[in-house]
Structure 1
Amino acid sequence: MSLNTVAINQRMDKFDGHASVWLFGYGSLIFKADFPFIERRPASIAGWTRRFWQGSHDHRGTASAPGRVVTLAPEPGAVCHGMAYLVTPEEFAHLDYREKNGYLRLATDIRFEDGSSVEGLVYIATHENAAYLGPASERDIARQIAGARGPSGPNSKYLLELAKALRELGKFDAHVAEIEKHLLAFQAEA
């Protein structure tokens, strides 16, 4: 699959005709909502775990030195916490472009902290996309993040902002915390 997924996402018609759609964010969408939204609520999705396995050639790295950003990997019994946004369908033109580097829209059940749930959308970059980097040790991921920089700034800022946002939500993510620990150690050595 191509790096640019805008056209594929524009063909998703599941929510056509809806006045609004819930969008689940688990990475930069938690801390950087650069789009208008109607409502924002802490939420989670089941069966997925957050992983720094996606390459970023367009935001937090370059084609020759990609950064690493999060995607979701299927994991039975896992719960991924993040933030849900109620948006109008017009926002998907911007979101499809923002998430164009290998991410596809997927319909999913989103659960809110009050126990209610709704069907909405999430962007996931699977192993089938050209920017997918796959698993690595948290130390190796941190080292790659420490050295990557793209048009949206240092890759390290993405990681540190995500770790901070998860702490503010009161949600612990062992993968993110371990990478953050290694990154801070690398920065202290520099």
Structure 2
Amino acid sequence: MESRITLDHDLNQEGFWVFGYGSLMWNPGFAFAERVPAILVGYARSFCMWSIHHRGTPEEPGLVLALDLEERASCRGLAFHVSRDHAATTLAYLRERELVSSAYLERRVMLTLSDGREVSSLAYVVDPDHVQYTGPLSLARQAEIIARATGGRGPNSEYLFNTARHLAELGMEDADLTQLAEMVRQIPNA
């Protein structure tokens, strides 16, 4: 069962885990004690959220990755363990970064780490009822949007290229992201 992480209950003597499946993998922005490849079952990584702050604007939205609930899916990424000493600061940072428009929901999920451990982890999943949720988009439509959008953190294409490259470097290549990156590279001025 999923539940919102709370400072009072969950930031205990052992700190907490957070799941990175997009930019958190290559730009976590916080101190961590451990970084381990992990799998999350029941969610798919997809470009299903409009970005109006970081990788697009309200006038020309981009797309960012989100975890979309999908019963038979799984998502490979990185689990970061945050020590108790950094827990409160890191949680505040993550909430400022990930909850800027409330399109993500902060949830507790179960991860299987590459070493066999199962851990409860914080994850940011898309709110399918939020106005920024796109629902399914074809790869061609995603490529069109990503190729032209730029936001406060830079070009949307840079976000896609970095994520696809880091997944491949980690041995977790995502075939859809690899194909999407190639499609975007073929669009003039992308």
Shift of 1:132: 1.5
Measure the CA separation in 2 of the matches of 1:92 and 1:58.
20
Measure the CA separation in 1 of the matches of 2:61 and 2:16.
31
Shift of 1:178: 2.3
Give RMSD over aligned pairs: 1.9
- 2:42 pairs, out of 35, 43, 47, with 47
1:1-190 mapped onto 2 (5 Å cutoff):
15-87=10-82, 88-90=86-88, 91-100=90-99, 101=101, 102-187=103-188
Q: In the superposition, relative to structure 1, how do residues 95 and 149 fare at CA in structure 2: closer, same or farther (>3 Å)?
A: same
Q: Which amino acid aligns with 2:56?
A: G
Q: In the superposition, relative to structure 1, how do residues 113 and 10 fare at CA in structure 2: closer, same or farther (>3 Å)?
A: closer
Shift of 1:38: 1.5
Q: In the superposition, relative to structure 1, how do residues 130 and 18 fare at CA in structure 2: closer, same or farther (>3 Å)?
A: farther
- 8 Å CA contact retained: 2:56, 2:152: yes
- 8 Å CA contact retained: 1:22, 1:84: yes
Measure the CA separation in 2 of the matches of 1:114 and 1:169.
15
Measure the CA separation in 2 of the matches of 1:76 and 1:174.
19
Q: When the two structures are superposed, what TM-score results if normalisation uses the length of structure 1?
A: 0.88
- 8 Å CA contact retained: 1:19, 1:89: no
Size of the aligned set, in residue pairs, is 181
Question: C-alpha deviations, 1:100-156, integer Å up to 9, x for none?
Answer: 231111111111112211111100112112221221110110110000001100000
Q: In the superposition, relative to structure 1, how do residues 21 and 184 fare at CA in structure 2: closer, same or farther (>3 Å)?
A: same
Measure the CA separation in 1 of the matches of 2:95 and 2:67.
17
- 8 Å CA contact retained: 1:59, 1:150: yes
Measure the CA separation in 2 of the matches of 1:56 and 1:109.
27
Q: Which moves more between the two structures, 170-179 or 90-99?
A: 170-179
Shift of 1:75: 2.3
Q: When the two structures are superposed, what TM-score results if normalisation uses the length of structure 2?
A: 0.88
Q: Which moves more between the two structures, 42-51 or 151-160?
A: 42-51
- 8 Å CA contact retained: 1:60, 1:151: yes
Secondary structure of the 1:186 match is: coil
Runs of 5+ unmatched residues, structure 2: none
Deviant stretches of 4+, over 3 Å: 9-14, 16-19
Q: Which moves more between the two structures, 108-117 or 172-181?
A: 172-181
Shift of 1:14: 5.3
Q: In the superposition, relative to structure 1, how do residues 13 and 65 fare at CA in structure 2: closer, same or farther (>3 Å)?
A: farther
Percent identity, aligned pairs only, is 36
Runs of 5+ unmatched residues, structure 1: 1-8
